[in-house]
Amino acid sequence: MSDTESSQTGHALIQSYLKTLDGSPGVYRMLDSESRVLYVGKARNLRARVSNYARPSGHSPRIARMIRDTAQMMFLTTRTETEALLLEQNLIKQLKPKFNVLLRDDKSFPNVLVAKDHAYPQIKKHRGAKKEKGAYYGPFASAGAVNRSLNQLQKVFLLRNCSDAMFDSRTRPCLLYQIKRCSAPCVGKISEEAYAASVKDAERFLQGKSTEVQAMLADEMQKASDEMEFERAAALRDRIRAMTQVQTAQGINPRGVSEADIIALHLDRGQACVQVFFIRANQNWGNRDFYPRVGEHVAEAEALGAFIGQFYDTKEPPRQLILSHDIEDADLMAEALSEKLGRRVEILVPQRGEKAELVASAMRNARESLARKMSETATQARLLKGLAEAFDLDAPPQRIEVYDNSHIQGTNAVGGMIVAGPEGFLKSSYRKFNIKGTDLTPGDDFGMMKEVLTRRFTRLLKEDPDREKGDWPDLLLIDGGAGQVSAVQEIMEDLGVEDIAMVGVAKGIDRDAGKEEFHRTGKRPFALRHNDPVLYFVQRLRDEAHRFAIGTHRAKRAKAVSRTPLDDIPGVGAARKRALLAHFGSAKAVSRANLADLKAVDGVSGALAEKIYDFFHEGG
């Protein structure tokens, strides 16, 4: 790695680096005068790529601005061009440079899991690492897409979705059996062999062999009808209908594409939408839209290539990527993805035929989604401008933080923070705060707010003292009136943070929604017109904060209800806790058990039995 300190900036500075570079592949970084990373790029030939930036003219306005702001460069050579591509994408995700295309939404996708650790396998939704024993089918584009498929699979194959603990505790069939969504293996309504056959059929369907399964069911139905088993024939007819519904609901069912992601990009005035359709086993397993940060004057090839590199950084690619546009260095991308998958990945930009029709459909979706998004963003911009005018702010806020507390008589107290900005609610930025203060009296809302804000801003001051990362709010909305605002003002002054606008939102006369009063330090309280869109916006913000705090509180309370002293014993996880409770009936009975009885519990070793016994009898 090399870097050069210089008072020069722009292409003259970049020119000075050329004598230190050769034709090796690698990654380069452009930094501004305050050492902030402006751009990360890769190069097959570092010298050739950097010499392009050293030219004084011929650049797009975006690249010209980037060159003008460059005060320093850093280089890292790599052994191969593919290695450079992978390193570039990692650095972009890590550093989030201003001039790079950036994928902002990078969630994992759910799968259908047919669990194989039970005589009667369970079918369920699974997200995250594939650690459970079983067969995984996916990815599905969303929870909605996987839930729809599971719903239909239950109708067709009558497989259970209950947990093993629930399965073991049943003495009579549950409601799913009554409504013909499960074959009730829990109470012996179906043999192990017959259930295994249903599991096999479900897996064949998920593998794309639906025609084969339908033909087999049709044969069984005809046979049942011939043998006068009309009830069984009717049940099989219903299953065939349900299977047809699955295929109809999927919309696109390509004949010539067995496993691919269809990826289409639409750019408009510096905004982008990428639509991804997941095709697996000749079936459409849903689609999802993404809105990467691109900025103006970014070409389709750069935007789509950057999206693909970042998208598959944490995901397994399919055998084919079918794209709407060519991308830069498509050969390198295909090589990198092939290495990741362990088999060949093909990148296609079809011009005709079924694949081109699939891309056209994805393009239409991307175009319509971006139009809706831009319309919503324009509305949000008007609301933020109205908020700035109503609260006398210097400019429309880019980040609003709204705080709320939730507790019942002081128990399981939590604070919630939601965030909103030009893109609407930023759910990935929401935060919960388990109230830790031991000196708080039950229901002390002032004390809770003090703890939450102190923790929030102490962390901001530590992690981003220069306010460069975009995590500092422009406006705080607090639930409460003059007293709450005054208390919060004091907290902020103690922390040395006095330049953030703050507004208290209090219910007005008769605590009626719509008659809210707004309180600011040193100013008279005021209200907005009953039908003012800004008032509705503030109500939405406060309702969302309340919903989030209440939900967090309920989750904490539910966890506390199921908590036992066994949770505090090292080595006792969820499975052993279940085994102990099943054996003894309660945590209290476990605490009274002798050593021999503890050793008799399935899964509890002699050493662990001693540890449990000592935990409850220490000093006794």
Q: Is residue 384 part of a domain?
A: no
Q: Is residue 383 part of a domain?
A: no
Q: Indicate whether 377 belongs to any domain.
A: no
Q: Are residues 446 and 484 both part of a single domain?
A: yes
Q: What's the pLDDT score for residue 87?
A: 94
Q: Are residues 555 and 575 in the same domain?
A: no
Cβ burial, residue 584 (10 Å; 0-12/13-18/19+): middle
Sheet holding 346-348, edge to edge: 283-290, 271-280, 259-268, 320-323, 346-348
CATH label of the domain that carries residue 611: 1.10.150.20
Quick check: 353 pLDDT over 50? yes
- What is the C-alpha to C-alpha distance for residues 302 and 166, in angstroms, rounded to an integer? 51
Q: Which amino acid is at 289?
A: D
Greatest alpha-carbon span in the chain: 93
Q: Please indicate, yes or no, whether residues 592 and 456 belong to a single structural domain of this protein.
A: no
For residues 335 and 280, state if they share a domain. yes
Task: Determine the structural domain holding residue 293 and report its residue range.
Answer: 259-371
Of 350, 371, 392, which residue is a domain's last? 371
- Both 39 and 118 in one domain: the answer is no
Residue 591 forms part of a structural domain: yes
Please say whether the beta carbons of 72 and 17 come within 8 A.
Answer: no
Tell me the C-alpha distance between 433 and 462, whole Å: 18
The CA-atom distances, in angstroms, between 468 and each of 309, 417, 453, 514 are 26, 21, 20, 37
pLDDT for 249: 52
The pLDDT of residue 377:
87
Q: What is the CATH number of the domain that holds 78?
A: 3.40.1440.10
Q: Higher pLDDT residue, 242 or 332?
A: 332
Listed residues 200, 220, 249: the one ending a domain:
249
The per-residue pLDDT for range 211-262, each reduced to its tens digit, is 677 777 788 888 888 888 887 787 778 777 766 665 555 555 677 888 999 9
Q: Tell me: do 349 and 435 sit in the same domain.
A: no
Residue 417: inside a domain: yes
Are 35 and 134 contained in the same domain?
no
Highest mean pLDDT of the ranges 242-251, 428-437, 565-574: 428-437
Based on the fold, state whether residues 548 and 429 are members of the same structural domain: yes
Look at residue 104 and tell me if it is in a domain: no
Displacement of CA 413 from its chain's centroid (Å) = 26
CATH of the domain at 549: 3.30.420.340
The total number of structural domains that make up the chain: 5
Contact 102/92 with Cβ under 8 angstroms?
A: yes
Question: What does the alpha-carbon distance between residue 588 and residue 27 come to, in Å, rounded to a whole number?
Answer: 61
Q: State the pLDDT at residue 4.
A: 45
Say whether both 219 and 342 belong to one domain.
no
**Which backbone phi and psi does 472 adopt, to 5 degrees?**
-85, 135
Q: Dump pLDDT digits (tens) for 32-50.
A: 998 999 999 999 999 999 9
DSSP 366-393: HHHHHHHHHHHHHHHHHHHHHHHHHTT-
In a domain, 517, yes or no: yes
DSSP H helices, 207-261, are 210-226, 230-249
Do 408 and 354 lie in one domain? The reply is no
Pick from 57-71, 211-225, 264-278: least confident: 211-225
122 and 218 together in one domain: yes
The conformational region for residue 180 under phi > 0 = left, psi -120 to 50 = alpha, else beta, is: left
What DSSP designation does 550 have?
Answer: H
Name the band, by pLDDT with cuts 50, 70 and 90, for residue 360: very high
User: What would the pLDDT profile of 337-351 be if each residue is shown by its tens digit?
Assistant: 999 889 999 999 999
Please tell me the distance from the alpha carbon of residue 570 to that of residue 572, in angstroms, as a whole number: 6
Distance CA 121, CA 140 (A): 21
Helix (H) or strand (E) holding 153: helix 143-157
Whether the per-residue pLDDT at 565 is higher than 80: the answer is no
Q: Would residue 575 count as lying in a domain? A: yes
Predicted pLDDT at 32: 93
Cβ atoms of 247 and 155 within 8 Å: the answer is no
- Last residue of one domain, picked from the residues 88, 123, 150: 88
**Which ranges of 265-312 would DSSP assign to H, the alpha helix?**
300-311
120 and 209: one domain?
yes
Map residue 102 onto helix, strand or coil: strand
CA 124 to chain centre: 19
Q: Does residue 185 register a pLDDT over 50?
A: yes
pTM of the full predicted structure? 0.73
